C-alpha cells in the first residue's frame, strides 16, 4: 500500500519527496469517512474535475490546493510555461474590437504583466 511505502521511506527520502511535491504524504494519514467519500464519489464529474450538484459546482481554489500541498503561492507563479502572450491585434480580432479598445481595459499587474481590470466584468 502507499501508506506502507511511505512508512518505509528514510527521513532523507521523505524530505526530498516533500521538497518536490509538498506535503501530500500527510494525506495518507488522514482519517476518512467511507460513507461520506462514497456519497461524494457519486457527484464527482471527472471531465470537469469537480463535484457537480443540482445547481452549483464545487472545486478547490488555487489557494486551497496550495494549502493542501503546503505550497506558498507568493513564492511561485501558479501558471508557468503557457507560451507567448498573444499579440494585442489577435486579441482584438477575436473579440471583434479595435486594439485601442482592448488596450483601454488592461492595467499593469505583478511580474511586468498586463491584465484585465476587475471593473471590466461589471
- What are 37-68's pLDDT values in tens digits? 899 899 988 888 888 998 888 888 878 877 77
20 vs 30: CA distance, rounded Å: 21
99 has pLDDT over 60: yes
97 vs 69: CA distance, rounded Å: 41
Indicate the domain borders of the chain: 2-75, 88-121
Entry pTM = 0.37
Amino acid at each position: 500500500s502507499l501508506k506502507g511505502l511511505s512508512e518505509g521511506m528514510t527521513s532523507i527520502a521523505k524530505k526530498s519527496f516533500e521538497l518536490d511535491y509538498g506535503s501530500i504524504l500527510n494525506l495518507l494519514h488522514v482519517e476518512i469517512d467511507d460513507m461520506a467519500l462514497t456519497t461524494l464519489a457519486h457527484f464527482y464529474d471527472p471531465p470537469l474535475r469537480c463535484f457537480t450538484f443540482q445547481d452549483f459546482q464545487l472545486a478547490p481554489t488555487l489557494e486551497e490546493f496550495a494549502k493542501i500541498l503546503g505550497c506558498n503561492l507568493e513564492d511561485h507563479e501558479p501558471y508557468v510555461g503557457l507560451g507567448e502572450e498573444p499579440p494585442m491585434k489577435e486579441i482584438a480580432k477575436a473579440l471583434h474590437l479595435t486594439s485601442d479598445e482592448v488596450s483601454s481595459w488592461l492595467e499593469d499587474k505583478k511580474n511586468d504583466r498586463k491584465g484585465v481590470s476587475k471593473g471590466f466584468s461589471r
